[in-house]
């Protein structure tokens, strides 16, 4: 690793230095089959999972943790991941010989508890991959369509918030029209971007998917009638764009099979755009428009009539949904709500799950006063937790311990209940973008009242999540035996050889946190965030 870092220093390119440090710890360039990233994680496809050195990787400054899913995901944090991933990808592509994979270490040579934990994680990941259901795989593909749009949603959402602030305060009246155009331009064409990403994800030509979806936002559709009604530009929204582009992919693939190659360049694009466009105009726009309207009405009805109960259930169940990989189904729902009303009322409630995790982590820190490794992990992970990056606390602290994960969910439920109660009383708290949570969500808040009042309600929800997560974990998160074992002297905290698989090392790279308090569910599909 020193040979890599010698070529770079923190002063000239810290992103490249971290990329150079990560590469040998994931088995080298020959072991990397794919590189991509989302809002917080660099996602790697690996040829041989056993070559990854989990302990040293987690110990790297700047690495917040790792997550096992269909790819090996290194948590780097928002903003940072977008700088490091291109550097890492460039290093992989520039490797002199990627054809020969490095030899795995001989069995039994220098194996440590961390090595055993990594092997157990690899077995769990392999078993999970075999048991992957078609529904979960489809939800992942849908997430792959919408996740690349999140940076633009965040940027435009913050600009929209600034524009609203300046407009209400009467500041800079000559600038507010420009801010409105910047904030609204992307949302007015989001259907096109959904079409591009859908076609790319399902193996079609992206521009043809975008062309099929562009029909939805063309102003001239107001002259077209379907089901006895005039269409409206934008009707059907992102759902219509998704299905339009998906149809275009299947039409294009069908044409490729039957159209002679001599005329393929003329016939296939024409037939694809024509068929997908007609079906979109005379079917998908109306049907998907009704579905989108129904989603908006359902979210409003749920919180108006369910109030605190609905918020309690949503806030408490979000992290279990994440563990099952089902949270990805919420991404198009959030996007649809933002497209309809300018904000999603579900995200601030779901964000309370992270508040429960933070409260639980503080309680764990106080209860395990002798366990320096877990306390070190919590100290390093708490700042990210307050900003809504929940993976380090979930996978490095609460989930391996078992019971604290449940009490953290209780904290999230109470926080969601507070926000849901105020919605029932007439104040909706929403977010103009998806992705951020915790304190990072404050700049994106929007609702039906003043920004100050909305921010206050959201802050009350966070406070309730912190407090209840702390109290529930402090008093009910540990059995007497767990406290005795986890607070034992460091020499006694090594996992017993016959005690079963040890928990995964904490994300901060601290030593093993102690004996396994009991089996914990394996990560199934993501982290505490929406991406």
- Pairwise CA distance, residues 438 & 389, whole Å: 8
Handedness of CA 502, 507, 512, 516 (dihedral sign): negative
What separation, in Å, do the N-terminal and C-terminal C-alpha atoms of the chain show?
A: 30
| CA distances in angstroms from 334 to 143, 224, 338, listed in the order given | 12, 28, 6
- Pairwise CA distance, residues 62 & 369, whole Å: 26
Q: How many CB atoms lie within 10 A of CB 492?
A: 11
- Pairwise CA distance, residues 292 & 92, whole Å: 42
**Shortest CA distance to 153 belongs to which of 191, 190, 192, 198?**
190
Residue found under tokens 């524009």: 163
Instruction: Name the token pair of 453.
Output: 């009042």
**Shortest CA distance to 444 belongs to which of 229, 435, 453?**
435
Question: Order of strands, edge to edge, in the sheet holding 32-37?
Answer: 32-37, 41-46, 72-75, 65-68
CB 369 within 8 A of CB 382: no
Q: Is 499 exposed, middle or buried (0-12, 13-18, 19+ CB in 10 A)?
A: exposed
DSSP-derived 3-state class of residue 46 = strand
Using alpha carbons only, how large is the chain's radius of gyration in Å? Answer: 25
Q: Are strands 429-431 and 229-230 parallel, antiparallel or unpaired?
A: unpaired
Q: Is 38 designated active site?
A: yes
What are the residues facing 337 on neighbouring strands?
A: none
Active-site option among 38, 156, 288, 409 = 38
- Pairwise CA distance, residues 384 & 499, whole Å: 32
Handedness of CA 508, 65, 36, 434 (dihedral sign): negative
List active site positions: 38
């Amino acid at each position: 690793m020193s040979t890599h870092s010698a070529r770079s220093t923190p002063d000239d390119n810290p992103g490249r230095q971290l990329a150079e440090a990560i590469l040998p710890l994931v088995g080298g360039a020959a072991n990397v089959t794919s590189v991509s990233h989302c809002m917080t994680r660099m996602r790697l496809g690996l040829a041989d999972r056993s070559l990854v050195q989990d302990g040293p990787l987690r110990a790297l400054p700047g690495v917040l943790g790792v997550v096992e899913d269909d790819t090996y995901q290194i948590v780097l944090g928002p903003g940072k991941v977008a700088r490091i991933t291109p550097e890492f990808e460039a290093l992989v592509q520039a490797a002199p010989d990627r054809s020969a994979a490095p030899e795995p270490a001989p069995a039994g040579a220098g194996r440590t508890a961390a090595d055993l934990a990594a092997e157990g994680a690899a077995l769990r990941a392999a078993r999970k991959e075999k048991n992957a259901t078609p529904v979960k795989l489809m939800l992942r593909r849908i997430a792959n369509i919408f996740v690349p749009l999140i940076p633009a949603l965040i940027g435009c959402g913050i600009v929209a918030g600034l524009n609203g602030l300046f407009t209400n305060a009467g500041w800079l009246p000559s600038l507010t029209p420009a801010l409105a155009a910047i904030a609204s331009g992307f949302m007015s064409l989001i259907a096109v971007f959904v079409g591009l990403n859908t076609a790319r994800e399902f193996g079609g030509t992206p521009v043809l998917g975008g062309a099929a979806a562009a029909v939805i936002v063309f102003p001239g559709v107001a002259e077209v009638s379907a089901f006895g009604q005039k269409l409206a530009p934008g009707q059907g929204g992102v759902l219509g764009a998704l299905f339009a582009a998906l149809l275009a992919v299947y039409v294009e693939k069908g044409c490729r099979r039957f159209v002679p190659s001599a005329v393929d360049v003329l016939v296939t694009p024409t037939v694809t755009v024509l068929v997908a466009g007609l079906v979109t105009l005379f079917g998908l726009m109306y049907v998907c428009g009704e579905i989108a309207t129904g989603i908006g009405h359902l979210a409003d009805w749920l919180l108006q009539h369910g109030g605190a109960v609905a918020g309690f259930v949503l806030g408490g169940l979000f992290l279990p949904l994440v563990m099952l990989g089902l949270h990805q189904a919420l991404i198009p729902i959030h996007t649809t709500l933002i497209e309809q009303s300018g904000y999603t009322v579900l995200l601030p409630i779901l964000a309370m799950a992270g508040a429960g995790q933070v409260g639980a982590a503080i309680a764990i820190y106080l209860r395990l006063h002798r366990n320096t490794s877990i306390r070190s992990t919590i100290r390093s992970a708490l700042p990210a937790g307050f900003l809504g990056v929940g993976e380090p606390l979930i996978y490095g602290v609460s989930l391996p311990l078992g019971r604290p994960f449940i009490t953290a969910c209780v904290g999230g439920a109470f926080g969601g209940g507070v926000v849901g109660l105020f919605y029932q009383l007439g104040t909706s708290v929403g977010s103009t973008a998806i992705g951020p949570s915790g304190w990072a969500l404050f700049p994106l808040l929007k609702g039906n009242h003043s920004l100050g009042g909305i921010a206050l309600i959201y802050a009350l929800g966070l406070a309730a999540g912190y407090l209840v997560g702390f109290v529930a974990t402090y008093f009910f998160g540990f059995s007497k035996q767990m406290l005795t074992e986890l607070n034992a002297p460091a020499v006694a905290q090594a996992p017993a050889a016959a005690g079963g698989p040890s928990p995964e090392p904490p994300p901060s790279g601290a030593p093993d946190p102690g004996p396994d308090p009991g089996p914990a569910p394996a990560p199934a599909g993501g982290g505490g965030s929406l991406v």
